[in-house]
Amino acid sequence: MTILTDLTQLKALYGKTGTASTAKEIEYIDDNYSKFIVSAPFVALATVGPEGIDCSPRGDNPGFVRIQDKRTLVMPDRRGNNRIDSLSNIIRDPRTSFMFMIPGSNTVLRVNGAAQISVDTELLASFTVEGALPRSAIVLSVERVYFQCARALMRSNFWNSDYHIDPLDLPTPGKILADISNGATGGKQYDDEWPERAKNTMW
């Protein structure tokens, strides 16, 4: 296996960057990019910390990431598994990236910047859904904004229902837990109870 370890070799392999690849990058949220943010119900949240990198899925009603101003985004932290991997990273290293995805669109928007975690009561109250408040909010100071080449989603046929996989063909979370723990946790009961548990703890 041949491994590249030198930036000069890497740049020589890939050649010159196209004009559009750099022209699309700006340091603020303009009107075009804001339309993607307010339309997105899903964000991949990337952070980095002493233990390494982390990428976490975040989903909510479209526009759940709020545009506070052209250089600031706010994302509520909804209920989850309480691992707080992403939040722990942000506390120790503010470098953070939001990747916005919109069902049906092959254009992905990336926003990189420095994040902080806010527990401001008025801010959290403004994100109330069905009487439930997020326990915190991620405030991102925007440094770079750009759209991602659509080829990845096009190649994957991500939105094409003809290529969707039947979930029953995949291991369930209950089976994964049961196999890893030698039956100590998970199993069919976990899978059977999950839909109702998720419904009651969505927000």
Q: What is the pLDDT of residues 5-29, one digit of tens each?
A: 999 999 999 998 889 889 999 999 9
Other Cβ atoms less than 10 A from the Cβ of 134: the count is: 23
Angle (deg, nearest 10), helices 173-180 and 188-200: 130
For 20-156, which CATH class? mainly beta
* Distance (Å, whole) CA 95 – CA 140: 9
Whether 203 has a pLDDT exceeding 90, the answer reads no
Segment 102-151, tens digit of pLDDT: 999 999 999 999 999 999 999 999 999 999 999 999 999 999 999 998 99
**Beta bridge partners of residue 59, listed in sequence order:** 42
Other Cβ atoms less than 10 A from the Cβ of 5: the count is: 6
Segment 40-90, tens digit of pLDDT: 999 999 999 999 999 999 999 999 999 999 999 999 999 988 999 999 999
> Vertex 200, ends 134 and 177: CA angle to 5°?
95
Domain definitions of the chain by residue range: 20-156, 165-200
